[in-house]
Amino acid sequence: MDDLQNAPKPDGAPEQVDSIIKIRGLRTAFGPHVIHNNLDLDVHRGEILGIVGGSGTGKSVLLKTIVGLNKQIEGSIEINGFDQANLSGEEERMSRQDWGVLFQDGALFSSLTVAQNIQVPLREFYEFPQDMLDDLARSKIEMAGLPGDAGKKFPSDLSGGMRKRAALARSLALDPKILFLDEPTAGLDPIGASAFDGLVQELSRSLGLTVFLVTHDLDTLFRVCDRVAVLGDQKILINAPLTEVVKFKHHWVQEYFGGPRARAAGLS
């Protein structure tokens, strides 16, 4: 897949930077209801960053704002050194090849097979012949740990865990540099969740992916995240390794990471 990784990038692309995502002064709101206010966040290149926070703190809103599905009121979002608010049409198109998104419910097209779902983003950006599209879909299906015959099946034919993996395979279609995962283990049993965590970690390490992972799963935080960013009071309260986060003096943080479920996960 070097051909996709080496696809042309916008002219004048800056040199590699430590922070692949840089957010400054972000403010988001729905009508009078402010979700984020003066939020700053850096996501380091190649890390798995877990995003946690209480209900209503805007974890998924933050993810959707970064990928352009929700428009911020104030603040800047840079991805790979590019201010996302100041891209030309072609620059925006090229920039969006750098990330893949797995939404909480998978968001697979129910009328398409798994292989056809994976081919959707490929068709958007490339004019590959069908045999190449089929080969690429098979490659992503294998990468996501699905059986070879999964490509011919429809989402309704798959278990919950397999649908998550199919959605992950689609998010990998363009060989992205960044994966955005919204509650990827939600609805999975402990064994399935653990296997999915292991897959994400393996992909991150082997492909050099940066992973922005929204989750409430304490086991996931413990198993795979390099750092954890805690959303609260409309901003990032702390963004640090988990060993530091669990000591942070904030009532929600202490309650979340000091409870019985946290002790069961080995966090306190």
Q: Is residue 105 one of the residues assigned to a domain?
A: yes
Model confidence at 194: pLDDT above 50: yes
Q: Is residue 120 one of the residues assigned to a domain?
A: yes
Q: Is residue 28 one of the residues assigned to a domain?
A: no
pLDDT at 206: 92
Confidence of residue 198 (pLDDT cuts 50, 70, 90): very high
Q: What is the mean pLDDT of the chain?
A: 88
Q: Is residue 180 one of the residues assigned to a domain?
A: yes
Number of structural domains the chain divides into? 1
pTM beyond cutoff 0.75: yes
Span 21-45, mean pLDDT?
A: 96
**Which residues pair with residue 179 across a beta bridge?**
100, 211
pLDDT at 5: 42
Model confidence at 74: pLDDT above 60: yes
**Residue 178's domain is classified under what CATH number?**
3.40.50.300
pLDDT at 85: 85
Q: Is residue 32 one of the residues assigned to a domain?
A: no
pLDDT at 266: 57
Q: For the beta carbon of residue 240, count every other beta carbon within 10 angstroms.
A: 14
Residue numbers of the domain that contains 256: 44-70+88-264
Backbone angles phi, psi at 120, to 5 degrees: -55, -55
Q: Is residue 27 one of the residues assigned to a domain?
A: no
User: Which residues, in sequence order, are CB contacts of 82 under 8 Å at separation 6+?
Assistant: 10, 13, 14, 91, 95
Q: Is residue 61 one of the residues assigned to a domain?
A: yes
Q: Is residue 48 one of the residues assigned to a domain?
A: yes
pLDDT (tens digit, 9 = 90+) per residue, 201-257? 999 999 999 999 999 999 999 999 999 999 999 999 999 999 999 999 999 999 998
